[in-house]
């Protein structure tokens, strides 16, 4: 899945309290003990979509994600107040390596890194292979 997602894990009580108080609507909520494609879930948590931009456009994902984080900062500050495990901002991008550029670079602006850090969020980049053919 490309785009950018905030992945959060914690106890069921933390999740329920956050969702009740924040007003944010996750794309998925999962609970420890539920079945998943990998077997039984070992943790509870939820995901919030920060950007639905295509995996070929990290810059758009960063901009949309920063807008979301700024617009929802008060709600997201609850994650720290409720002492969740380290939330992760996960950018899903296509691996753009090719014959002419076998080692592409992917840069995150300092302003975004600072914003994520202020919120206590880790940053992750997930690669989803080559972009689909046109």
Each residue's pLDDT tens digit, 35-94:
777 777 778 899 999 999 988 889 999 999 999 999 999 999 999 999 888 799 999 998
Output the pLDDT for position 129: 78
Query: Which of residues 22 and 130 earns the better pLDDT score?
Result: 22
| 91 vs 53: CA distance, rounded Å | 10
- Kindly indicate the confidence band of residue 1, based on its pLDDT and cuts at 50, 70 and 90: low
pLDDT at residue number 90: 97
Q: Find the Cα–Cα–Cα–Cα dihedral 73, 75, 6, 8, rounded to 10°.
A: 140
* Structure confidence by residue, pLDDT tens digits, 5-45: 999 999 888 999 999 999 999 999 988 877 777 777 778 89
pLDDT tens for each residue of 98-126: 788 788 788 999 999 999 999 999 999 99
* DSSP secondary structure, 77-116, as one string: HHHHHTT-S--EEEEEE-----SS-SS------HHHHHHH
Strands 88-93 and 28-30: unpaired
How far is Cα 24 from Cα 27, in angstroms, rounded to an integer? 10
So what's the pLDDT on residue 41?
72
Residue 132: what pLDDT?
76
Give the pLDDT score at 42.
Answer: 75
């Amino acid at each position: 899945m490309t785009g950018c997602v905030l992945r959060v894990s914690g106890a069921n009580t933390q999740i329920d309290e956050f969702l009740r108080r924040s007003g944010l609507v996750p794309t998925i909520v999962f609970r420890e003990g539920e079945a998943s494609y990998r077997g039984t879930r070992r943790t509870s948590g939820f995901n919030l979509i920060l950007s639905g931009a295509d995996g070929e456009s990290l810059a758009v994902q960063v901009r949309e994600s920063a807008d979301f984080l700024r617009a929802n900062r008060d709600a997201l500050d609850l994650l720290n107040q409720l002492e969740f495990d380290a939330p992760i901002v996960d950018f899903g991008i296509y691996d753009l390596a090719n014959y002419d550029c076998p080692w592409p670079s992917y840069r995150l602006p300092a302003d975004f890194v600072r914003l994520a850090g202020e919120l206590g969020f880790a940053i992750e980049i997930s690669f989803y292979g080559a972009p689909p053919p046109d």
